[in-house]
Structure 1
Amino acid sequence: MLNYFWVGLEKSGGIILRLITMIILARYLSPQEFGTIAVLVVFVSISNVMAEAGLGGALIRKKVLTELDKSTVFIFNFCTSLVLYSIIWMFSPIIEGFYGSDDMATVIRYLALIVIIKSFALVPNVLIVRNEFFKVHSKILIFSNLLSSFVAIVLAINGVGLWSLVALYLCEAVISTVLILLFVKPSGNLHFSISNLKVHLEFGFTVTSSNLLNVIYNNFLSFLIATSYGVRMAGFYYQANQYSQSIANALTAIIDKVSFNKLARAMNDPKTFKSHYEEMFITFTYLGIAVFSLLAFISQDFIVFILGSEWSKSGEALQILCIAGMGILIDGCSRSAIKASGLVSRLLKVDVYRKIIGCIALIVSVEYGFIVLVYTYSLITLVGSLLNLYLFRSLSEKNVLIYVVSFLIMSVGLSFISNVICGIYEDVNLIVNIITKMFIFTFTYTLVTTFLIKLNKHPIIPLILSNKDS
């Protein structure tokens, strides 16, 4: 439980810092500049997944980790990152020409250095997870977030513009990598084994394919928005996605760091495995759906208050993207168990069909406008996550799909009730509106939850948080 606390502290601290940073940067930067970064981050994200190649998960799953394992993975990861960076360097003028945005080639060449920098931290991060050094790791990441945010804000205030966002990403990668290497010092052993690499890639290739599909699909929306409606609209989407995605990523990162390690160790004990999975899944989905429901409820007032009225389009997008956030969280919970159980090949097949259908739906919805496109993406993400639960239902004794549907119905119902109550009293002051909405939603959610817990053993109600098997 202490591990969850430290990883949770790291992620919640990261969210708060990033939130404050984006609020300040939005006062100095335009939607066009945010849109440029949104487009370029797609290429960096894809490269990171390809460079990592799923080898981090392979090392975590291995019972006995040798120096040869660590050295082989590091060399492969570093060399792959160099190749990927070279490809980005060569194609950067084409990317700039395609979007018609000045300095894009130069910006992506600096931004893509993150791929090489992060290759030095892959193996140390694996060792941190295996040895459960979450306390130190959390402190390192919070400090790197704080310092990089400070640098970016100072640069933005001094009129650097787009480069303040580049500095934010680069400084965060450099500082965190250096501090991690100081804590987990490299052994200096640089031996490489092809046979050793093949063993890790058997697991890593499938995981990489699945992760790559997810990254491409999740960033496909940014690409469509930028190409169909312009880089400026991509900037509105980027700001909205920052808030929903950061919460979803924070929760799924806690699951990946702590729960995956716990589940991987219990994979030879089906009863313990299922017990851990059910406990993790029910807890995270219940809390996560509540958080996203609250954020959706206050999103439009929230965005206008913190960023200004020129960002109101981001408020509309954020309200919708909270649906996708729920889907990403549910997916993260199930994927952790699927990867730990070794069913990644089956997961990849499901992902391929999901992403193909999703991309076709997004392309079709482009002509109906920005809001419809975001709705399409969000609903497909949520429905796809529920489909995964059904297809991999054998991983738990309880029918966790019933729990999720119950949580979703409760959240929608309470959001509607809270909206009706807030409609009776609505102040022109945005901060008063936000506080009022937060209080009413939280109060009703807590009240209903308490009521359901008290009726936990009632024979006619399929109660949320029931300890009975479905």
Structure 2
Amino acid sequence: MTDIKSKAKSGMLWSFMIQGGTQVINFVVTIILSRLLMPEQFGLIGMISIFLAIGAALVDGGFVISLIRTQDADDVDYSTVFFVNLFSSIFLYGVLFFTASLVATFFKQEILVDLIRVQSLGLIIAAFSLVQSTKLNKELQFRIQFKLQIPALIISAIAAVLFAYLGFGVWSLVAKELIYSFLATVQLWWYAKWTPKFIIDKEKIKYHFKFGYKVSLTSILNTSFKNLYNIIIGKYFSATQLGYFTRAKSLEQLPSVFFFNSFNRVFYPLLAKVNNDRAKLRSMYARLMRLVVFVVSPILIYLGVIAEPFIRFLLTEKWLPAVPYFQLLLLSGIFHPIHSYNLNICNLKGRSDVVLKLSFFHNSLLFLGSFSIIWFGIYGLLYNLIFVNILVTIINAYVSGQFISYGLKEQSKDMIPILALNLSLGGVFYFLQNAWFYQMNDVWNILVNGIAFCMIYLGFAYLTKMHVIKDVLQLIKK
């Protein structure tokens, strides 16, 4: 147990540094590019994002998750997965290359042909380093990943800004992704100190595929429906409105993705190590859930309160139509960590079939609801997203929690007080924002609201003796 705590402490530090550095750099470059580019140019990338994301999920094939949970993986496992990923990426690039014209015709945007054919090269580039990255994750070598990811991200960000400044428009966004992928791949080969052997073992393919294909199907389903709104908005509305939506969504995802990825990068391998100890797994998982919700939910609620001055200050007034999209997406995003961690428990227990069923149910609701309410416009789609996310979070908590005796009742007892406190504070501060704070300068508005919200939130949590406060104090102490 001491060894696990030591690895968790070191891994968490470097994982937060990786995720924090990545988020800060992406945040800054997003602000700069949003000022240099027009909303419709972001909308064009939003139109093709689903095809690239599905391609990435198919290249992975769920083999990466399978490698992490395989405790005795050897060179045969790694080499086999490497070549399967590589051949898959080449095949999928060919599919995207020849179907690009169909996508352009669907959206009535001829430029999408070239955008897809160029940006999908990233699938092949990334396939060369998926296994190396997995090895480093499995071994909790996050310090090495920090050394290679951050420089690659900085260089690609600078290149993207330069391209945008020189008038390359949407191609600056493509350049950013390809340059980063290439630099990260080259460095992963150097730092991971692992090269594939020319081995493709049929038994290993069967073993990893047996678990991985369900994870892959789940990922494809989630990716498809996660980008469903991009297709609907891009098809039935406009590239400009899609640009507002994608910018709002990227800002909304910053805090939740930061904390989820930071914790999950470390805790998934560690939870896998105590997978057979039900009591220990339940304890670690419950503390992790409480901690993430305690940290993420106030950030999302606060951002909803100061959404208008926040977007105006960062992105300028041309992006203000994105404010209501941003606020509704924030409400939906509160449930993302709970939903995601519950599905992780099923994967840890080897029940990727349950994850697939839950994901299919989730996405079916999202699909049916979207086309039933599309006539109410983008706002109808967003309210549908909130309703579906609440419903599936409840269902997932009930189903997944049974594997570790931490079901809906126990999770509700831990999560509802935290969420109720945040929503109450958010309502009060939203009223004050509209009644008084709006007169202030945007910077002072954001700072004053932020300090007051944080102090009152922590004060109430401490006075009411929330269980999570003990977890936070222990974490700070250590």
Q: Which of the five TM-score ranges fits, normalised by the shorter chain?
A: over 0.9
8 Å Cα contact 2:68-2:138 kept in structure 1: yes
Aligned to 1:430: 442
The question of 1:416 aligning with 2:427 is answered yes
Q: TM-score, normalised by structure 1?
A: 0.94
Q: 2:455 aligns with which of 443, 451, 462?
A: 443
Aligned to 1:460: none
Aligned to 1:16: 24
- Helix, strand or coil for the counterpart of 1:168? helix
| More moved, 419-428 vs 302-311 | 419-428
Aligned to 1:295: 303
Describe the shift of the 1:466–1:186 C-alpha distance in structure 2 as closer, same or farther (beyond 3 A).
Answer: closer
Please list, as runs of the form range in 1=range in 2, the aligned pairs for 1:123-138 lying within 5 A after superposition: 123-138=131-146
- Helix, strand or coil for the counterpart of 1:408? helix
Q: Matched residues in 1 for 2:204 and 2:428: separation?
A: 58
Aligned to 2:103: 95
Q: Matched residues in 2 for 1:434 and 1:202: separation?
A: 50
Q: Matched residues in 1 for 2:290 and 2:437: separation?
A: 35
CA displacement at 1:464 relative to structure 2: 5.8
Q: Matched residues in 1 for 2:301 and 2:398: separation?
A: 23
Q: Matched residues in 2 for 1:12 and 1:379: separation?
A: 30
Q: Matched residues in 2 for 1:466 and 1:373: separation?
A: 39
- Helix, strand or coil for the counterpart of 1:426? helix
- Helix, strand or coil for the counterpart of 1:324? helix
The question of 1:110 aligning with 2:118 is answered yes
Q: 1:54 aligns with which of 62, 75, 91?
A: 62
CA displacement at 1:144 relative to structure 2: 1.6
8 Å Cα contact 1:221-1:377 kept in structure 2: no
- Helix, strand or coil for the counterpart of 1:275? helix
8 Å Cα contact 2:287-2:468 kept in structure 1: no
Q: 2:411 aligns with which of 396, 400, 407?
A: 400
Q: 1:145 aligns with which of 153, 167, 173?
A: 153
8 Å Cα contact 1:267-1:273 kept in structure 2: yes
Q: Matched residues in 2 for 1:25 and 1:382: separation?
A: 33
Describe the shift of the 1:364–1:466 C-alpha distance in structure 2 as closer, same or farther (beyond 3 A).
Answer: farther
CA displacement at 1:427 relative to structure 2: 1.9
Q: Which amino acid aligns with 1:411?
A: N
Q: Which amino acid aligns with 1:243?
A: L
| More moved, 18-27 vs 324-333 | 324-333
Query: Could you list the runs of 5+ residues in structure 1 that have no partner in the other structure?
Result: 457-462
Q: Matched residues in 1 for 2:337 and 2:326: separation?
A: 16
Please list, as runs of the form range in 1=range in 2, the aligned pairs for 1:157-168 lying within 5 A after superposition: 157-168=165-176
- Helix, strand or coil for the counterpart of 1:342? coil
The question of 1:334 aligning with 2:342 is answered yes
| More moved, 50-59 vs 5-14 | 5-14
CA displacement at 1:138 relative to structure 2: 2.1
**Percent identity, aligned pairs only?**
21
Q: 1:343 aligns with which of 351, 355, 374?
A: 351
Describe the shift of the 1:12–1:352 C-alpha distance in structure 2 as closer, same or farther (beyond 3 A).
Answer: same
- Helix, strand or coil for the counterpart of 1:27? helix
Q: Which amino acid aligns with 2:462?
A: T
8 Å Cα contact 1:323-1:379 kept in structure 2: no
CA displacement at 1:281 relative to structure 2: 1.3
Describe the shift of the 1:425–1:252 C-alpha distance in structure 2 as closer, same or farther (beyond 3 A).
Answer: closer
Q: Which amino acid aligns with 1:53?
A: G
Aligned to 1:172: 180
- Helix, strand or coil for the counterpart of 2:307? helix
Q: Which amino acid aligns with 1:415?
A: G
The question of 1:227 aligning with 2:235 is answered yes
Aligned to 2:5: none
**Count of residues in correspondence between the two structures:** 459
Q: 1:366 aligns with which of 349, 368, 374?
A: 374
Question: Hey, which bits of structure 1, 4+ residues long, moved more than 4 A?
Answer: 463-467
Please list, as runs of the form range in 1=range in 2, the aligned pairs for 1:201-212 lying within 5 A after superposition: 201-212=209-220
Describe the shift of the 1:447–1:465 C-alpha distance in structure 2 as closer, same or farther (beyond 3 A).
Answer: closer
Q: TM-score, normalised by structure 2?
A: 0.92
8 Å Cα contact 1:29-1:161 kept in structure 2: yes
